[in-house]
Amino acid sequence: MPLLKKNENPKKRELGLAPMEGVTCLATRLWFSLTSQPDFAMTPFLRVTRDYPWKRVPSTYAAEIFDLKGLTSYRLIPQLMGTSPSDLERIATPLLKNSNFVDINCGCPSPKVVGSHAGSGLLEKLEVFEEFLTGIQEKLGESRYSIKMRSGFHTNDEFPKLLNLVAKMKMSQLTLHARTRQERYTSFSKWNLIDMASQTCGFPVVGSGDIVDSQSLENTMGQAPMVEKIIVGRGALRNPWIFQELRTNEIVQLTSRTLVLSLACYAVLQDILANNPSLLLQLVEKGLFEKTCGTDENLWEQLYHKLTVLYYGHYIETKSLVVERPSFARVKMIWNSLRSSLNSGFMDPFLLRVNCFPDFEKGIVSKVQESNELLSLKYSSQYDWIYSGAKNNGNEQN
Ligand SMILES: Cc1cc2nc3c(=O)[nH]c(=O)nc-3n(C[C@H](O)[C@H](O)[C@H](O)COP(=O)(O)O)c2cc1C
């Protein structure tokens, strides 16, 4: 394996899968535990209003802390979003029976969310934020909540005051994605602000933003040495084996067959979650996901075999796999990011246009010279514009 720049004294940081709405559902979280095993994962936000959800949360939203408690290799942090501490308390109460703390989203930049004063909308006025945090602490209890926030609403100059306020609270941890709401995904996450937070708060600070490979992790370690936990979002979609790379400092290599099998497993997991969620829970209980498959082709082959037999009733070869459209759309969503870590041939837009798994597999196979050739997963900054919301500089057509 090609060794990346040697880090003589790597500080052991906890690595987490970032919450991503529309992406990190139960099936995706389980799949990441198969590819490269994060230490923890966060659910995407569950939007809480006056009458939704009413006392019970959707069964698969945080299954890892209920039916699957202790059965997954990663810890799960449930995340809620809302504006009213009382409403949030209604839903946090059952979660807190099974989880040490619940995370509250104070960072979502979407206009609809901000328009209803939730997410990063809470950061716009300091007094509103203070009242909200005080209410949350009263209702949920000291150290029974954490928050995930941005570094400001309009500008980063707002950060010191926001931080002073946060540091006074008794929360379980603070996750900081150090961009303002205004910045959305332009510019970079400011790890010097994450460092400032880690030096100011008496509770752990989790760093978020722009970790895409070992090198970028090392850079953040230099800038924010006291941060002991980080989460990876878009970088994990670009390289689903990133947690392996971050732990070993080695570039991940895998065969094209492993790539196909892992994505076929992802497709089937999505089908099971959509059509028979209780079967998915049973499969976890049976220990089907106990072992990380990593880059081991045989382990993926065995898992794929078991999944098809248990779900469809018989083995189906990947070249004949038919999954429902939404499940295949999820595969393409992962592929849209993953392809940027492979060699440029895989950026072929054809692979995003195909409508079924067998055509997708054919497309991948057509890009490799020899079936046992090892594909390297390497972060390539030339494709950042696709994933950052920044404008294409004209060199790329995708
Ligand atoms: C598609 C997508 C959905 C997201 N959904 C959430 C969410 O539900 N809750 C949250 O706190 N952050 C959410 N985020 C923000 C990420 O958790 C993370 O903080 C941000 O993307 C920066 O990290 P990255 O550079 O590793 O992606 C989302 C990000 C993306 C790209």
Q: What is the CATH number of the domain that holds 204?
A: 3.20.20.70
Closest residue by Cα to residue 322 from 312, 330, 313: 312
Q: Does residue 101 fall inside a structural domain?
A: yes
196 and 47 co-located in one domain: yes
34-83 pLDDT per residue, tens: 999 999 999 999 999 998 998 788 889 999 999 999 999 999 999 999 99
Could you give the number of structural domains in the chain?
Answer: 2
Q: Does residue 300 fall inside a structural domain?
A: yes
For 322-346, what is the mean pLDDT?
96
Identify the domain boundary among 238, 272, 300: 238
Closest residue by Cα to residue 38 from 232, 216, 212, 194: 232
Contacts 24+ apart (CB under 8 A), 275-278: 275/324, 276/311, 277/26, 277/59, 277/60, 278/59
- What residue's CA is closest to ligand 1, atom 1? 20
Full domain range(s) for residue 57: 14-238
217-262 pLDDT per residue, tens: 999 999 999 999 999 999 999 999 999 999 999 999 999 999 999 9
Ligand 1, atom nearest to 44 Cα: 8
234 and 319 co-located in one domain: no
Q: Give me the pLDDT at residue 397, please.
A: 32
215 and 263 co-located in one domain: no
154 and 216 co-located in one domain: yes
Identify the domain boundary among 174, 204, 238: 238
Q: Does residue 303 fall inside a structural domain?
A: yes
Is residue 78 within 8 A of residue 47, CB to CB? The reply is no
Which residues have a Cβ under 8 Å from the Cβ of 384 and sit 6 or more positions away?
A: 390
73 and 121 co-located in one domain: yes
For 336-350, what is the mean pLDDT?
95
Question: What single DSSP character describes residue 250?
Answer: B
- 27 Cα–ligand 1 center, Å: 17
53 and 172 co-located in one domain: yes
322 and 374 co-located in one domain: yes
Q: Give me the pLDDT at residue 138, please.
A: 98
Q: Give me the pLDDT at residue 385, please.
A: 82
Closest residue by Cα to residue 255 from 383, 369, 381, 380: 369
Q: Supply 22's token pair.
A: 């529309």
Q: Give me the pLDDT at residue 83, please.
A: 97
Q: Does residue 376 fall inside a structural domain?
A: yes
Identify the domain boundary among 209, 238, 267: 238
N-term to C-term CA, the chain: 31
- 317 Cα–ligand 1 center, Å: 35
Share of the chain above pLDDT 90, in %: 89
129 and 60 co-located in one domain: yes
- 315 Cα–ligand 1 center, Å: 36
For 288-301, what is the mean pLDDT?
97
Q: Does residue 1 fall inside a structural domain?
A: no
Q: Give me the pLDDT at residue 390, please.
A: 57
69-122 pLDDT per residue, tens: 999 999 999 999 999 999 999 999 999 999 999 999 999 999 999 999 999 999
- 325 Cα–ligand 1 center, Å: 25
Residues with CB under 6 A from ligand 1: 18-23, 44-45, 79, 105, 107, 148, 177, 208-211, 232-235
193 and 263 co-located in one domain: no
- What residue's CA is closest to ligand 1, atom 29? 20
223 and 271 co-located in one domain: no
How many residues appear in the chain?
398
Whether the pLDDT of residue 11 is over 70: the answer is no
274 and 205 co-located in one domain: no
296 and 216 co-located in one domain: no
Q: Does residue 62 fall inside a structural domain?
A: yes
Q: Does residue 5 fall inside a structural domain?
A: no
Find how far residue 307's CA is from the centre of its chain. 23
- Parallel/antiparallel/unpaired status of strands 14-17 and 252-255: unpaired
Helices (H), the chain: 26-35, 85-96, 111-115, 126-140, 159-168, 191-200, 214-223, 234-238, 242-248, 256-275, 277-285, 297-312, 325-338, 350-353, 357-367, 384-388
Q: Does residue 268 fall inside a structural domain?
A: yes
